[in-house]
Amino acid sequence: MYTPYSRRPMRSLLAGLVAAIVVFALIAVSTKALYGFLPALGVLVGVYFVLARRFGKKVEALMEKASTEVQAQRLPNAVAILKTGYQYAPWVFLMRAQLDGQVGAFLYLEKKFDDAVPLLEGAWNRHWVAKGMLASHHFRRHKPEIAFEVLDKALAVAKKEAMLYGLKAFMQVKLKDRDGARKTLNKGTEVLTSNAALKENLIRLQNGEDLRMYLFGEAWWQFHLEKPSQKALMKLAGGGRQALGAKGAKKAMYR
């Protein structure tokens, strides 16, 4: 069962708080005054930072191993590796949300939607891949209002991710809202002035033509909103298809 990360104890914070209380008490006893507040605060921040960095490095190493498995198209192995990182989640703020997002994304790639969705819901909004997958799931389940709500929240913190604009525009076109799709793509081109996929698809809409989502790259297919055409499959095969590469997976988790 998924447990919201916010309900789990912050062990690093608790450790820092204990250390801070000890320092404050020692200074207060020795000086008979309350001069220990700032030193105690420094200890609190320092202890948390050191412990968070330590466990963050451990999870980063797991992410590297998982990415290697993804490149070899062994997604179940990648999921198993990342799940071992949950033991470190109580030590660092948002680590649970980051792990949920990445594990959920890998499960979604395998089309294990029932297992993936609760994790994607708990993912950090900055994990735009996870939120794009969650929005895609709701859209395929004929819940566009929820899908757009998820995408808008993701875009609020990931404005420079062209794929999010593409996803929203694709859904709007499917709902016969071509004007809304044009507005979405136009907004994307204002933020990402040199993005070719956004520009070309905007022009296509203005000319009354269909979107070409494969222009956003092979990552488009991971959302399971379209099946690759034979032409697209040949292009992917020529480029060496992979769902989430080492750099892409790590970027999605740690940005």
Average pLDDT of every residue of the chain: 79
CATH superfamily for 5-254 is Tetratricopeptide repeat domain (1.25.40.10)
pLDDT tens profile 213-234: 999 998 999 999 998 766 655 5
DSSP string across 44-101: HHHHHHHHHHHHHHHHHHHHHHHHHHHHTT-HHHHHHHHHGGGGGGGGSTTHHHHHHH
Type of residue found at 193: T
Summarize the confidence of residues 92-116 as an average pLDDT: 90
pLDDT exceeds cutoff 60 at 157 = yes
Predicted confidence at residue 228, as pLDDT, reads: 77
- Predicted confidence (pLDDT) at residue 190 exceeds the cutoff of 80: yes
pTM: 0.74
Six token digits for residue 189: 């081109």
User: Could you give the 3-state DSSP secondary structure of residue 34?
Assistant: coil
